């Protein structure tokens, strides 16, 4: 599979977004979820994105991290090169989502993720979302402290604007390697942040690359140009969408979600799909 840079690491150009394995109302069983992760690894995926808050509710906080860790353990030595990215900063109260960006909370959240993932240091720890009750600079200082303590190897931020990216670069320094923002054919409002990441050598991980769980099933209807190109090439509209993402910049690392092995196998194939300049022009 095509490879791309994530800080000082090289990973697969297509990652696996593990969120649907825990948050979908009809989520797969633990064994089925494990099969999805194994299918991703078999297809050459070496980047898995999770988060402590990916769970049905507060009572199973950390569910997704535990699931990913279990799947990697059962895969054996072939999983040793996989980079696991997780996130902290979202809280759960029942099924509601809250925010806590204080350095103290991020330290506790990171320590919980370390236990659930069964690692000494987290490959990529991402601040899940800005907390309006905590100054951004304080949250970034909390992330820097995790790096300095040896708990985190690399830092990412999520749902950040350009000003916040620059503050993070200033506070976190070279340990900041990634920005994860929403981006898809129907939601391109992070285009400026993507370009800013490209200018500064930061990986850009588009979340919901198909438009989100509720929109993915209707992608052919909502993105007709993508469906037309897919028909021309004899591939799925999802492969075309991911190839379009990759064509935006060599810093882009899509992390499509999947709850079936066939879905991630299809997505992984997009890393080797080449779109012509004419096709890309039609896709916009």
User: What residues act catalytically?
Assistant: 54
CA 5 → CA 46, 156, 163, distances in Å?
A: 12, 14, 23
Q: Which two tokens stand for residue 34?
A: 């494990």
Q: Which two tokens stand for residue 177?
A: 């390697």
Residues 6+ apart with CB under 8 A from 7: 124, 154, 177, 178, 203
Q: Which two tokens stand for residue 18?
A: 């593990």
Residue 68 to residue 49: CA distance in whole angstroms: 9
Q: How many other C-beta atoms are found inside a 10 Å radius of the C-beta of residue 133?
A: 9
Shortest CA distance to 164 belongs to which of 115, 186, 197?
Answer: 197
Shortest CA distance to 53 belongs to which of 86, 27, 24, 78?
Answer: 86
Q: List 156's β-bridge partners, or say none.
A: 126, 178
Residues 6+ apart with CB under 8 A from 116: 52, 62, 65, 66, 69
Four-residue CA torsion sign, 278, 279, 282, 283: negative
Tell me the chain's radius of gyration from C-alpha atoms: 18
Residue 47 CA, chain-centre distance (Å), reads 8
């Amino acid at each position: 599979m095509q490879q791309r840079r994530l800080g000082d690491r090289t990973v697969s150009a297509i990652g696996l977004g593990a969120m649907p394995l825990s948050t979908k109302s009809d989520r797969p069983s633990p064994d089925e979820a494990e099969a999805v992760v194994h299918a991703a690894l078999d297809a050459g995926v070496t980047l898995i994105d999770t988060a402590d808050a990916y769970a049905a509710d507060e009572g199973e906080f950390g569910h997704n991290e535990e699931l990913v860790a279990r799947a990697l353990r059962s895969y054996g030595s072939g999983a040793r090169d996989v980079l696991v990215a997780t996130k902290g900063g979202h809280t759960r109260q029942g099924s509601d989502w809250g925010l806590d960006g204080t350095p103290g909370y991020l330290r506790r959240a990171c320590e919980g993720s370390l236990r659930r993932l069964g690692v000494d240091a987290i490959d990529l720890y991402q601040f899940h979302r800005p907390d309006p009750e905590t100054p951004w600079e304080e949250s970034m200082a909390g992330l820097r402290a995790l790096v300095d303590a040896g708990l985190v190897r690399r830092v990412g931020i999520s749902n950040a604007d350009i000003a916040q990216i620059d503050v993070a670069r200033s506070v976190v320094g070279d340990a900041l390697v990634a920005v994860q923002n929403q981006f898809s054919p129907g939601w391109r409002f992070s285009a400026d942040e993507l370009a800013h990441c490209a200018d500064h050598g930061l990986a850009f991980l588009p979340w919901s690359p198909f438009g989100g769980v509720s929109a993915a099933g209707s992608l052919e209807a909502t993105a007709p140009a993508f469906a037309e190109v897919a028909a021309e090439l004899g591939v799925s509209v999802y492969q075309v969408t991911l190839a379009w993402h990759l064509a935006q910049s060599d810093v882009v690392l899509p992390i499509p979600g999947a709850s079936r092995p066939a879905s991630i196998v299809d997505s992984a194939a997009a890393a080797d799909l080449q779109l012509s300049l004419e096709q890309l022009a039609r896709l916009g």
